[in-house]
Each structure stands twice: as C-alpha cells, then as structure tokens.
Amino acid sequence: MVDTKNTVKLQNGKNMPIFGLGTSQVSKHEARSAVRAALDAGYQQIDTAYNYLNEDAIGEVLQEYIKGGKVKREDLFIVTKLPMIHMDPKLVKRSIEMSLKNLQLQYVDLYLVHLPIPLAYDGNDENVFPTEASGALKVADKTDLIGTWKAVEELVDLGLTKSIGVSNFSISQLERICEIAKYKPVVNQVECNIYLQQKEMFDACKTLGITITAYAPLGSPGRNDLMKEQGESEGLEDPVIQRISHKYGKTPAQILLRFLIQKGTTVIPKSVNPERIRAR
C-alpha cells in the first residue's frame, strides 16, 4: 500500500504521496530512464498526461517492474490527464481508456482535467495541440466544463480512476465545479514555487478541501530567460536559497521542495537525471 507516513489525505479519504516524478516535456527515451530511476529510489507517485505523448513508455517500465516483482500495483500512485482535444463529454471515457492502454493499467489513481480550455478535435488523436492557420491554438466552438466534469465523475463509478481532479483551473472555475459536483475535485495541479506562491489559490483550495499539487516547484528552471527578464533568478541559483542550503547541509532543490511540502502541497519536480532523482 502507499506509505501513509509520506502522504496527504485527500478529501475523498485516499492517500496521495507527497512526492512524485513529473514527466512533462520528457521524451519517451528519457521517460523510461527517469521512471526506472524513480522507482529504484522508492518513488510511488508518477505524474504523466496524454498530452505528454510518453504514457506508453512509462507503461512499459511500470509493467517491467510490476511483472518483475520489484513493485506492487497497489503501492503506486499513477496520475494522468484528460487532453484538451477530448473534453467533449462523449470523448472522455474513450480518452481515459486510451491512456490506460498506453500505461498498461486497469485504473489510474488520479485523473485530472488538464486545462480548462477545450481544443477543437479533428479526429486525429495525435494532434493534441491543433492550430489555426495563424498558428494560434484552435479552441473548440463550445465550452462546457460542467459537462466535462460530469463525464469525468462517471469514470470513478466505472472503476477507471480512484480519484479525480483538475489542473490549471482558476478559483472561480473550482467553485463552479464544486457547486454541482457529485465527486468534488481532490486536487488542483498548478505551477507553484518561491516565485509564484499562489496565496489566493491556497486559501481558496483550503476552503474547498482541495489539495494543491505543485508543478515547476524548483522555480521553472526551463524558463530562465523569461525569469531573468522579470528580474528573477532561477530558484536553484537564488542567493537566499543558496545560503539556506549551506546552513542546513541540503541541496537547493531539497530546500525549495521542503518549502512547498510544509505548506501542505504535493510536489512533482521533473528531472531526467538519475542522481538528481535519487537526491529528492
């Protein structure tokens, strides 16, 4: 079972590991290596998404470790997400079934609506970011977040996911969903780090009983140029974080993650470096 000493209890009573491996913008080859390193290091939560186009590679490793007796399925907490092109309620069940086939699993532990922005579906399941001739994303003609949520709720009843939640939703969108929900979202996954502390979101989610999962918890290392334009240094190189890490004998990454964990979030730092994965 999931180690309850290192979990947060979601509002539906399920336990979610505090720490997980993020796999956004990770190639299939990198995903295989990263997930192996994470499982070897004792990680229980693996976070992926249909949009990342690496679910099948992650599924290969999960089956390798499950069938090899290295881990038990019930000891893992696997998260994936509904893509924006499949937000039409009629497409939701088919979409999670596609993800489950890729992951080679009977169910996921948490299924998230990836973004509150339905994109036009042209029948091509691999075209996850359809664009207009201008290059802008092609948004669906109709937006029905309530209808999408009700379809996602049915996945719980079907046993295809243990818990459901959202990602990148605003406070007003969370409140709308909670007003009509049979099963309230247990998680809102948002960018959160020392430069983007999300105080209003924390306050709202506490009131609604929703747990925050922080992605980019190290300060968006992949966006250095943008952050420098804003007068911000990357979190790992921040002089204050450097001083704290020297004082306590921890790595800057450990300090940044501890800051968020103490606020009650779960965190999913992304890395493809086995040494960094082990040094969580």
Residues with catalytic annotation?
A: 52
Element (H, E) at 39: helix 28-40
- Distance separating alpha carbons of residues 15 and 4, to the nearest angstrom: 7
CA dist list (Å): 155 to 11, 45, 77, 95, 242:
18, 20, 17, 11, 45
Residue 180: how many other CB atoms lie within 10 Å: 11
Q: Residue with structure tokens 């336990």?
A: 15
CA dist list (Å): 108 to 79, 81, 89, 147, 250:
6, 10, 19, 21, 33
- Residue 94: half-sphere exposure toward Cβ, Cα within 13 Å: 9
Nearest to residue 84, comparing CAs of 144, 161, 172, 160? 144
- Which class for 133: exposed (0-12), middle (13-18), buried (19 or more C-beta within 10 A)? exposed
- Whether 23 and 58 have beta carbons less than 8 Å apart is answered as yes
Q: Residue 169 — φ and ψ, nearest 5°? A: -85, 145
- Residue 219: half-sphere exposure toward Cβ, Cα within 13 Å: 21
- Distance separating alpha carbons of residues 225 and 87, to the nearest angstrom: 33
55 token code pair: 């679910």
Q: Which residues pair with 17 in a beta bridge?
A: 7
